[in-house]
Amino acid sequence: MKTRDDDPATILDAPPMRALVTRPRAEAVELAAALAARRIEAVIEPLIEIRYRDAPVPDLAGAQAVLCTSANGVRALARVSAERGVPLFAVGEATAARARAEGFVAIASAGGNVGDLARLVQRRMQPGAGHLLHVAGSAVAGDLAGELAASGFAVERAVLYEAVAAEALSQATIARLISGAVDLALFFSPRTAAIFARLAIEAGVADALGRVIAISISAAADAVLSGLGFGARAIAAAPTQAALLDRIDSLLVASPLP
């Protein structure tokens, strides 16, 4: 017979369901709507705060394309530049959707991770046709510039925002975790998972997670959580929000809500 430790679906049996959403607030609010459609209440606990920079404004003259590895990069660029016609390559559909919402008109989505983005740019762009502008935060994952430089592309990085780690879990979230009032915890990057792991240990709740399924966007994010006391852990089939939501759906199918 399967136990809670080897069958994540067995934990999903006590409505109302709640999911701890660790994304920055803007993304967390958008994700909360998708969760609400699944009758899951979002417990928003941003573990990274996005602080936009007003300067320097990136010079798009001569750039053949802009590369955005997050929706925050799109937001940051839209704040400081009125240019919307430059081709914009997005790491995934969520970033592409934000670009459309901000009025960009020439958008291509890699539908995956930084490696997928590099390969898409290599197929679509020419190394000698102008530099590529990577709009990013102060901390980046992967080596997009390195992968493209190996193919002869010149990549300039414009740091338009800071991604600042939270200093502590909120008292409300600590109380929910201790009382077992959280069913899912969602992690969208190794960095966010690492921040949660550190803060959970500091708050004394690392061993109070037995009712919680941790669902991560990648194996790298999941690996950071291995030392915590989650009842179970699951990984999305692809590094996208859509795939993570699909993983949640598969758990709900296995143990549907009444």
- Domain stops at, among 136, 164, 192: 164
Farthest-apart Cα atoms in the chain, separation: 64
Is position 79 within any domain? yes
Is the model more confident about 112 or about 84?
Answer: 84
CATH classification at residue 160:
3.40.50.10090
Domain count, the chain: 2
Same domain, residue pair 158 and 64: yes
pLDDT (0 to 100) of residue 62 = 84
Same domain, residue pair 234 and 188: yes
Domain range enclosing 79:
59-164
Is position 68 within any domain? yes
Is the model more confident about 3 or about 95?
Answer: 95
State residue 151 phi and psi, 5-degree precision: -100, 10
On the question of pLDDT at 257 being above 80, the answer is no
Q: What average pLDDT score do residues 160-189 get?
A: 95
Same domain, residue pair 37 and 73: no
- Domain stops at, among 164, 199, 230: 164
Q: What average pLDDT score do residues 217-245 get?
A: 93
Is position 1 within any domain? no
Is the peptide bond preceding residue 16 cis, with omega within 30 degrees of 0? yes
Is position 54 within any domain? no
37-72 pLDDT per residue, tens: 999 999 999 999 999 987 677 888 889 999 999 999
- Beta-strand relationship, 48-52 and 155-165: antiparallel
Which two three-digit tokens encode residue 58?
A: 């990136």
pLDDT (0 to 100) of residue 3 = 36
On the question of pLDDT at 4 being above 90, the answer is no
Same domain, residue pair 192 and 242: yes
CA distance 133 to 122: 14
Predicted model pTM: 0.81
